[in-house]
Amino acid sequence: MSVLLETNLPLTLLHRGKVRDNYELGDKLLIVASDRISAFDVVLPCGIPEKGAVLNLLSAFWFEKTAHLVPNHVIEVVRDVRQLNAYHPGRRTYPASLVNRSMIVRRADRIAVECVIRGYLSGSAWAEYASNGTIHGTAARARMRESERLTQPIFTPTTKADTGHDQPLSMSDLVALVGESLAEELKERSLAVYAFAEQYASTRGIIIADTKMEFGFLDGHLGLIDELLTPDSSRFWDATSYQPGRPQPSFDKQMVRDWLTASGWNKEPPGPMLPDDLIKRTSQRYREAYRRLTGQSL
């Protein structure tokens, strides 16, 4: 299957991230989710078929489902490239590859914070707990197991780094960065979205162990931006095989991280090419997450 690794549209490119390409579209933005895949902050030379469509359509699904909790930047998903001419008139030709993998959004003043919500003890939180007995710098109850459900979800914000690793922010750090009122609103809105999504996902046989969200100001009002509750921004587990006390198989790129670690790669650019069977299995995992959560196939 073909993959889209890079876009070159007849529009002004504002930013090319690890996965998304953002273009100016009149007074709006066009966000295109490519099939690029990154690991350990390095973009790999291969892509994952249909990954971009999964990220884009699943984000759109969640933005719509949570709009009653928090407004968001979505105007419409690109289902036909002719839609773009309504925002940027003129005789321009756009590739069919934009269909389903791109969306037209309102511009936002981004808040440079990753709003992370954790409902289960996994990933970097587990590593910190196993080493220090703390979660995000706060003492936690003793004798917890890896992947165990937390008594209640916790808000563990980080910086939003364009390159390198995000750094943890305490609540006092966040208050110093954005002010007390906005810090509390970010926390409350993030927790509300996670609680809603976790409950819904449970009816689809999926556990949302943790997720990260981004916010910005849309016409002066706080709203969700970027992506929402995708396999790239969240840790999805199969509820039927969940067993605390060990790592859980995830509907994401964990297989890729595991293979790269075992390969002996030094985690410095350039990244290695992935084997074909791993690319295929990773694509299947992304598509399965979409099918499980939405009830539809791509």
- Whether residues 82 and 194 share a domain: the answer is no
Q: Report pLDDT for 163.
A: 59
Give this prediction's pTM: 0.95
Q: Give me the mean pLDDT over the 65-89 stretch.
A: 95
Q: Which of 10, 16, 62 is nearest to 290 (CA)?
A: 62
Give the CATH number, domain containing residue 69: 3.30.200.20
Range from 52-56, 160-164, 257-261 that averages highest in pLDDT: 52-56
The residue among 254, 271, 293 that closes a domain is 254
Domain membership of residue 231 (yes or no) is yes
Inform me whether the pLDDT recorded for 88 exceeds 90. no
Q: Report pLDDT for 223.
A: 98
- Whether residues 102 and 235 share a domain: the answer is no
Inform me whether the pLDDT recorded for 245 exceeds 90. yes
- Whether residues 180 and 103 share a domain: the answer is no
Inform me whether the pLDDT recorded for 262 exceeds 90. yes
Q: Report pLDDT for 254.
A: 87
Q: Report pLDDT for 130.
A: 96
Inform me whether the pLDDT recorded for 7 exceeds 80. yes
Q: Report pLDDT for 92.
A: 85
- Whether residues 222 and 123 share a domain: the answer is yes
Domain membership of residue 4 (yes or no) is no
**Structural domain boundaries enclosing 71:** 13-107
Domain membership of residue 141 (yes or no) is yes
Domain membership of residue 162 (yes or no) is yes
- Whether residues 114 and 244 share a domain: the answer is yes
Q: Give me the mean pLDDT over the 148-163 stretch.
A: 90
Question: For the chain, what is the mean pLDDT?
Answer: 95
- Whether residues 88 and 127 share a domain: the answer is no
Count of CB atoms situated within 10 Å of the CB of 288: 17
- Whether residues 90 and 131 share a domain: the answer is no
Beta bridge partners of 218: 221
- Whether residues 164 and 99 share a domain: the answer is no
Give the CATH number, domain containing residue 243: 3.30.470.20
Q: Report pLDDT for 127.
A: 95
The residue among 107, 122, 146 that closes a domain is 107
Residue 224 banded pLDDT, cuts 50, 70, 90: very high
- Whether residues 120 and 249 share a domain: the answer is yes
- Whether residues 240 and 170 share a domain: the answer is yes
Q: Give me the mean pLDDT over the 147-155 stretch.
A: 97
Domain membership of residue 129 (yes or no) is yes
Q: Give me the mean pLDDT over the 117-123 stretch.
A: 97
Q: Report pLDDT for 45.
A: 95
What is the number of domains present in the chain? 2
Inform me whether the pLDDT recorded for 162 exceeds 90. no
The percent of residues in the chain predicted with pLDDT above 90, rounded, is 91
Dist. CA 243–CA 116, nearest whole Å: 23
- Whether residues 61 and 194 share a domain: the answer is no
Domain membership of residue 39 (yes or no) is yes
Domain membership of residue 6 (yes or no) is no
Domain membership of residue 281 (yes or no) is no
